[in-house]
Amino acid sequence: MATNKIIILLLLIPELVFCQSRGVFPKVKNNFVVIAHRGFHAEFPENTIESLRKAIEIGVDYVEVDIRTTLEGVPVVMHDANAERTTDGKGKISEMSTVDFRNLKIKGTDINPPTLSSYLMEAKGKINLYLDIKDADAVRINGLLEKYQMKNNVVIYCSSPQVFEWKKVAPTIPIIVSPPTTAKNPIEFESYVLSFPVSILDGSLKMYDATIINKLSEIHIPVWLDTLNAEDNEESWNAAIALGIKALQTDKPLELISFLQKNNLR
């Protein structure tokens, strides 16, 4: 009898892991999820309040935004570790005071890069956020999410080593990770997912086929594809849809929304 109970428990463990790992997914209005990579940066600078507002205006489901911290540990919105590419400043964001960061100007504009606090204040009640954790403390970010009542409106992208920290700090927030490039078949993908309490996988179109997507669907792990750069076009979008993908991250959110509407998917 005891042996039978152990066998049943072992059979249930994978399902329990998956149920616990899913977290509370933010509510969306559309069946097909559109994620605006760094906001609507075709018209406004990436990762700014302005690109966030435009993304909200055109009706995306999520805005992806990159998070780093200043010298004092204050979370700020910036993709690169250094200021040179996008701003008039120089040096590492992590070695810059918060005051100096807030005084930066986005190149060619009078726009200041935002702190995470100001970004959350603008997003609250309007949009879900896909927080890409580049270099930031989970406890500090979770505190801001609680302060601005955004915990139910975010998903967290982080590296595999950060997953357990995030699940300890904020167990209900869905976690996105990238699968290893060594995973090539359904068994290897399933094995990887069982190693971490993740909710979602990302990655490029070439990483997946129908057998992998079907296996992940069986164990309730959705794939939110990154159709960026050379893959950000109708051919790739069609291929993703054919695989059963229902969420895409894009640099062309307006075009993707139009494409989905034409195909009665939104």
Q: DSSP readout, the chain? A: -HHHHHHHHHHHHHHHHHHHHH--PPP-S-SSEEEEETSSTTTS-TTSHHHHHHHHHHT-SEEEEEEEE-TT--EEE-SSSBSTTTBS--SBGGGS-HHHHHT--BTTSSPPPPBHHHHHHHHTTT-EEEEEESS--HHHHHHHHHHTT-GGGEEEE--GGGHHHHHHH-TTS-EEEPPPTT--SHHHHHHHHHHS--SEE---GGG--HHHHHHHHHTT--B-EE--GGG-SHHHHHHHHHHT--EEEES-HHHHHHHHHHTT--
pLDDT score at 13:
44
Neighbours of 237 (CB within 10 A): 24
pLDDT score at 165:
95
pLDDT band at 24 (very low <50, low <70, confident <90, very high): confident
Round to whole Å and give the CA distance between 2 and 8: 10
Lowest model confidence (mean pLDDT) among 11-15, 29-33, 172-176, 209-213 = 11-15
Is residue 20 pLDDT above 70, yes or no?
no
Is residue 9 pLDDT above 80, yes or no?
no
| φ, ψ for residue 263, nearest 5 deg | -100, 15
Tokens of 248: 């895409």
What's the chain's average pLDDT?
93
Average pLDDT over residues 147-171: 96
211 in Cβ contact with 188 (< 8 Å)? no
Residues 208-227: pLDDT tens digits? Answer: 999 999 999 999 999 999 99
pLDDT score at 196:
85
pLDDT band at 104 (very low <50, low <70, confident <90, very high): very high
Is residue 11 pLDDT above 80, yes or no?
no
Second-level CATH architecture of 31-262: Alpha-Beta Barrel (3.20)
Average pLDDT over residues 113-132: 98
Tokens of 9: 């428990």
pLDDT score at 23:
78
**Percent above pLDDT 70 for the chain:** 92
| φ, ψ for residue 80, nearest 5 deg | -80, 155
Is residue 6 pLDDT above 80, yes or no?
no
pLDDT band at 22 (very low <50, low <70, confident <90, very high): low
pLDDT score at 7:
40
Average pLDDT over residues 14-35: 76
Listing DSSP states for 11-33 in one string gives HHHHHHHHHHHH--PPP-S-SSE
Query: CA of 60: how far to CAs of 57, 197, 202, in Å?
Result: 8, 27, 18
Is residue 57 pLDDT above 70, yes or no?
yes
